[in-house]
Chains A and B, each alone.
Chain A
């Protein structure tokens, strides 16, 4: 595997479920990011980790919980989501924080029923 990978690629969950999104980067980067991409809205930065420490949390509801166990892996734990949380969730990584180039994974398409 090369670059940034995300699993699963598609996820359908009910509002009472608990699920997790996984991101793995094979680039030796030190910073990782979660973004939310909704239709007709700008890409929204959710969380930023640098050297496994969270450095940015853009007022994201607590039903989204990130975890960064090491510099190669990033998780987004989901629980009691709402239908408006349905979106494409993108993970990215960069060698250091901006302005270093962010490399994106293909995303997880999440549908909340």
Chain B
């Protein structure tokens, strides 16, 4: 099974940098995803880490440490439109059925203020 923890809420100022942490305890691991979800909308993919280290994609970066069961999502130059929930999700090892189901955390609601 998987247990995924992330802060419930965060507030940051427009133009600033914010780091959203995610810790996980898993019986298996086959990659970690970050998704963004605006209220009432579908989750949209932000990043994928399967090896240790930092993945950078524009204003968004994601870091993974498999030995520590830890990831963070870094958002730079915050914009008002970045106000959303950010979901950390872990993919378990393939059980043999070929399923790559994701186990999601509860999400971190980020509010960007002027």
* A interacts with B: no
